[in-house]
Amino acid sequence: MDDLEKMKAGLWLYARQPQIREALQRCEELVFRFNSLPPSREEERNALIRQLFGRTGGTFVIHSPFHCDFGTQISIGDDFTGNFNLTILDEAPVTIGDHVFIGPNVGIYTVNHALLPDQRNAGVMRSLPITIGNNVWIGGNSVVTQGVTIGDNTVIGAGSVVTRDIPAGVIAFGNPCRVVRPITEADRITDIA
């Protein structure tokens, strides 16, 4: 098993390895090119994201600046919107469903570092996957941590720190993020202009 495979498998490892460094550099170059292009060059920007990500749906919008570590571990569904300053640290797979809206300044982090300083300084880390279901909205300035699953049709309030799984069909917010209530038909907006 090579270093990238160990990382993707969620094993504790020394991450400062040439193979990992090369993959990070490849990603950094593509992300730099993406962030350098103006929004008016949407076709070129989308082509770079398709080259960078493991899978993309038919339609998506990602605003600059955008940052990720590898890109190849990110999978987005149809009608994805990633607002300004989205950061996805994809040492493990990040799977995002259809019709997902992510607010500005959101961080999605699959990686965790060793707690003891000597191990952390030596590059010991582990990554666990993150799954975000369909029809999810994650409010601005939120953080989603490693190993978390967010269920379909859920809203994560702005400024939340999601450290545990959140079920489908709920509003959840806070630090740590907690379920506040289910989303019901009473939440339907009826006075649309």
Q: Which amino acid is at 127?
A: S
Q: At what angle do helices 18-36 and 42-52 cross, to 10 degrees?
A: 170
Q: What share of the chain has pLDDT > 90, as a percent?
A: 97
Task: Tell me the per-residue pLDDT of 163-191, one tens digit each, with 9 for 90 and over.
Answer: 999 999 999 999 999 999 999 999 999 99
- The residue from 63, 67, 99, 113 that is catalytic is 113
Taking a C-beta distance cutoff of 8 angstroms, is the pair 119, 112 a contact?
Answer: no
Active site residue 113: yes
Mean pLDDT (the chain, rounded): 97
